[in-house]
Amino acid sequence: MLTLDHSPVHSDSKVLGGTLVFKGTRVPAQVLLDYIDRGHSLELFLDHFPTVNPLDANEFLRIAREENYT
């Protein structure tokens, strides 16, 4: 189960209306899932969103796969 306590993403009502974003950024986590769903690579996502920590992106994908979000 995805918990926000030890997660690479967080939600704050003051940032994009509470959308889940990668910590320290305004990049919605859903954008990464959309990239993957469209057949794009993690590397392309990271090229387009350099503020996202690669370790956070990988951890989010791992969690999402465990939860069957991808």
Q: Where are the domains of the chain?
A: 9-66
The pLDDT of residue 69 is 53
Asked whether the beta carbons of 34 and 28 are under 8 A apart, the reply is no
Over residues 9-25, the pLDDT tens digits come to: 888 888 778 888 999 99
Nearest residue to 22 (alpha-carbon basis) of 51, 42, 45? 51
Does residue 4 surpass a pLDDT of 80? no
- Taking only the tens place, the pLDDT of each residue in 37-65 is 999 999 999 999 999 999 999 999 998 88
- Top-level class of domain 9-66: mainly alpha
